[in-house]
Copies of this chain bind each other. A is one copy, B any other.
């Protein structure tokens, strides 16, 4: 079989997600945006698709203001569009893929990964690479008539999830103070979530475009304490906080949530400060999880594990460039007996969790906010990750990644 085309299908959509200047998602006024689907076609008619698979609408009455210096729309689509647009895919990637056997994922991945070196192909970001790789896996599953997790030897057809709460904001009744978090965490538990992860504040300079400021560790601690009190001792809690604390602030916050019985501590410091993570790990008993954003795919994760930098490893499709390097990271973690928690939701995460035998406790569902309803994107006929009343998400059972594409919506809105 040969690949005959790699194309992008761009269509109009709406988004209630806005980005603050440093890129975190918050609720925003509904705005027009563009969503991109990646399509790989073959000479045997089988195709593979990759498309963003999370979506939110504003709850009735919620009217968050626009963020000064922020941006709107889907993160992955933005990240890809910003660096590349359809032009890069058409001019640079398509000629590489066309003519290749679509099952030669290792070859294709290795060509694309090596293209990422240096600045010449900076448009080939990891999120874009992830879309190409995901489309190849989707194609493979559609050809073999199996969901991706079964291609990978998987067996779990459902996984427990946690409510992943958005980064703190300045919206009263949203995520503006510890009380807001406590109320929303309690609501998440009532909705059926067996565990909750907080993202506390990323900057005190809300409403401005100054991103240099540092949030308050004391406010973070107050927030974590209020949430623990609200949900009681039996709900598992995790913290992902401001990512640029120094080691002493990171220690103070980590010790506080260790005492509050939180089960992991995520990215409190610059991830390239590997020696600070080693220092922090030596001081705390709460498991430290990472890396998430440090570049270097499974290579960097290998060094974090062998070097004793983290207690729990972390990998996401967009972080490392797709399912292919996620699988390698799973195998790496299993070989060292290191737990792995998958970053971010979506089809790739669910299929990876379905195949993992190394511990990976939770699927990250969301991100959630009091103002938002996390729901099915209009370009899909069914949600990729519906949760049942026991807090489980079903791994998609359709062949491939499990996208049930709403072609009517896409064709009506196609650009």
State the A residues within 8 Å of B (CB).
Answer: 101, 103-107, 109-110, 143-146, 150-155, 298-299, 301-302, 305-306, 324, 327-329, 331-332, 334-337, 355-357
Complex Cα distance, B356 from A355, in Å, reads 20
Complex Cα distance, B299 from A150, in Å, reads 24
Report chain B residues within 8 Å CB of A144: 143-146
Closest residue of B by beta carbon distance from A296? B335
Contacts A144-B143, A306-B336 hold; do A150 and B103 have CB atoms under 8 A apart? yes
| CB <8 Å contact, A335 and B299 | yes
Complex Cα distance, B356 from A356, in Å, reads 21
| CB <8 Å contact, A106 and B154 | yes
A-B CB proximity, top 4 nearest: A105-B153, A107-B155, A144-B144, A104-B155
| CB <8 Å contact, A153 and B104 | yes
Contacts A101-B150, A146-B144 hold; do A298 and B331 have CB atoms under 8 A apart? yes
Complex Cα distance, B306 from A306, in Å, reads 6
Report chain B residues within 8 Å CB of A332: 302, 331-332, 335
**Nearest-Cβ distance from residue A126 to partner chain B, whole angstroms:** 16
Q: How many copies make up the complex?
A: 2
Report chain B residues within 8 Å CB of A299: 335-337
Contacts A324-B153, A331-B331, A357-B110 hold; do A103 and B146 have CB atoms under 8 A apart? yes
Report chain B residues within 8 Å CB of A105: 153
**Nearest-Cβ distance from residue A411 to partner chain B, whole angstroms:** 31
**Nearest-Cβ distance from residue A68 to partner chain B, whole angstroms:** 42
Complex Cα distance, B355 from A144, in Å, reads 18
| CB <8 Å contact, B329 and A335 | yes
| CB <8 Å contact, B155 and A101 | yes
Task: Identify the interface centre among A143, A299, A332: most chain B CB within 10 Å of its CB.
Answer: A332
Task: Identify the interface centre among A302, A337, A355, A357: most chain B CB within 10 Å of its CB.
Answer: A302
Task: Identify the interface centre among A105, A151, A335: most chain B CB within 10 Å of its CB.
Answer: A335
Complex Cα distance, B105 from A130, in Å, reads 25
Report chain B residues within 8 Å CB of A146: 103, 144
Report chain B residues within 8 Å CB of A357: 106-107, 109-110
Closest residue of B by beta carbon distance from A301? B335
| CB <8 Å contact, B298 and A335 | yes
22 A-B residue pairs with CB within 8 Å: A101-B155, A103-B150, A103-B151, A103-B154, A104-B155, A105-B153, A106-B152, A106-B153, A106-B154, A107-B357, A110-B357, A144-B144, A153-B324, A299-B335, A299-B336, A302-B332, A302-B336, A306-B336, A327-B331, A328-B335, A331-B331, A332-B332
**Nearest-Cβ distance from residue A143 to partner chain B, whole angstroms:** 7
**Nearest-Cβ distance from residue A317 to partner chain B, whole angstroms:** 16
Report chain B residues within 8 Å CB of A145: 144
Closest residue of B by beta carbon distance from A110? B357
Our pick among B104, B329, B336, B337 for the contact of A154 (Cβ within 8 Å) is B104
Complex Cα distance, B301 from A335, in Å, reads 8
Report chain B residues within 8 Å CB of A150: 101, 103-104
**Nearest-Cβ distance from residue A375 to partner chain B, whole angstroms:** 31
**Nearest-Cβ distance from residue A290 to partner chain B, whole angstroms:** 16
Our pick among B101, B106, B355 for the contact of A106 (Cβ within 8 Å) is B355
Report chain B residues within 8 Å CB of A329: 335
Report chain B residues within 8 Å CB of A335: 298-299, 301-302, 328-329, 332
**Nearest-Cβ distance from residue A58 to partner chain B, whole angstroms:** 41
Closest residue of B by beta carbon distance from A308? B306
Q: A299-B335, A302-B335 are in contact. List 16 more A-B contacts (CB 8 A).
A: A101-B155, A103-B150, A103-B151, A106-B155, A106-B356, A107-B155, A109-B153, A144-B146, A298-B331, A301-B335, A305-B306, A328-B331, A328-B335, A329-B335, A331-B331, A332-B332
Complex Cα distance, B103 from A151, in Å, reads 7
